[in-house]
A and B are shown apart, each in its own frame.
Chain A
Amino acid sequence: MTNPDALTRLLGAERDAEAEAVARLRARVVSQASATGLLDVAYRTLDTPIGSLLLAATPEGLVRVGLPNEDQARVLGELAARISPRILHAPARLDRAAREIDEYFSRSRHSFDISLDLRLAHGFRRSVLHHMLEIGYGATASYAALAAASGSPKAVRAVGSACATNPLPLVIPCHRVLRSDGTLGGYAGGLEVKQLLLALEARPGDGL
């Protein structure tokens, strides 16, 4: 007679082959969810010269770029709370953004051609981000100039917080915003990353 405890343990036990089956079924659910509009936020990671980036998109466009110094699980948790918990790892939805960022780092791309979803920025900060998008590749602007362009010349500190809370760093080039005296100012991703990006853009182009 078999032991009832062994039997109940067996009924509840994990199986080795399950992970594989779950991975296969999961892929099916992701594509069905995407096709039926149930996927509110798709994400993937991308290895770059500055480290691993987290890319997240809603159906409207790229909504968040997580820099390497950010905890990716925490970023995803924030997206769950602020946008929707219907979040799945769905790299295909971010193919184009990933390709363009790759091209940016290989210096064969100077501007991004992807739709952006700015829902994580509000009010003045959002209008600062719009103006930031006008700072071209290899150029820089001062916090003060950006404040003036955004219609509030005295709001230099507020421009600083708009940079610091930019949900789409790299793509919205807050790394191109410097102090009026030409010194770096701050960068949420760490000053060495800001320096690296500015240096990358300052090198003579070879890809275009």
Chain B
Amino acid sequence: MLGLPPFEEVIAAHGAVVLRVCRAVAGPDDADDAWSETFLSALQAYPRLAAGSNVRGWLVTIAYRKAVDRIRAGRRAPIPVGTLPERPSLDRELSDAGLWRAVAALAPKQRGAVVLHHVGGLPYAEAADLLGTSEAAARRAAADGIAALRKALDREESI
């Protein structure tokens, strides 16, 4: 019988990707709380998860919702790219905070598609379900989001 692995393994395997999703959606300052809420809520529901489920996709979905809730709560709106103190570049020295702030500044549909697909690794079809849109529209929104990110990051670089 193939059962659910101990939750400890789930955190070890997926803690980092959940953190990136939280940082990309809620921004670096609210990401920690979104991460904790994600894993506490996942731990509560975990025994009811069907064995063999895509645990990563399940967690990314929860993390995205928790992080969006944090933004909606309005405690701290994402900081617009224009006010960045850092200058993001695409080499490995890039400030993650800068990148995540740029992602957070995208239009909501674009941000959702970029985060769920490129950061969280969800297929477009699953990202589309979560965003309440079609697979084609999610694909388009992700492409538009990447284009907008490139523009924003290049603008920062050329200052």
Residues A29 and B11 in contact in the complex (CB < 8 Å), given A84-B47, A85-B3, A85-B46: yes
Q: Does A77 contact B (CB under 8 A)?
A: yes
Shortest Cβ gap from B78 to chain A (Å): 16
Q: How far is the CA of A19 from the CA of B13 in the complex (A)?
A: 11
Residues A80 and B4 in contact in the complex (CB < 8 Å), given A11-B119, A32-B36, A86-B47: yes
Q: Does A95 contact B (CB under 8 A)?
A: no
Considering only CB atoms, which chain A residue lies closest to B114 in the complex?
A11
Q: How far is the CA of A84 from the CA of B43 in the complex (A)?
A: 11
Chain B contact residues (Cβ within 8 angstroms of A): what range?
35 or more
With an 8 Å Cβ cutoff, the count of chain A residues facing the other chain is: 37
Query: By DSSP majority rule, is chain A's interface helix, strand, loop, or mixed?
Result: helix
Q: Does B39 contact A (CB under 8 A)?
A: yes
- Interface flags, A8-26, vs B, CB<8A=1, else 0: 1011101100110110011
Chain A, range 36-68, C-beta contacts under 8 Å to B: 36, 38, 41, 43
Contact B46 A86 (CB under 8 A): yes
Q: Does A92 contact B (CB under 8 A)?
A: no
Q: Does A183 contact B (CB under 8 A)?
A: no
Q: List 14 A-B contacts (CB under 8 A).
A: A1-B154, A2-B150, A7-B149, A15-B20, A25-B35, A26-B11, A26-B39, A29-B11, A38-B43, A43-B8, A81-B4, A85-B6, A87-B6, A89-B8
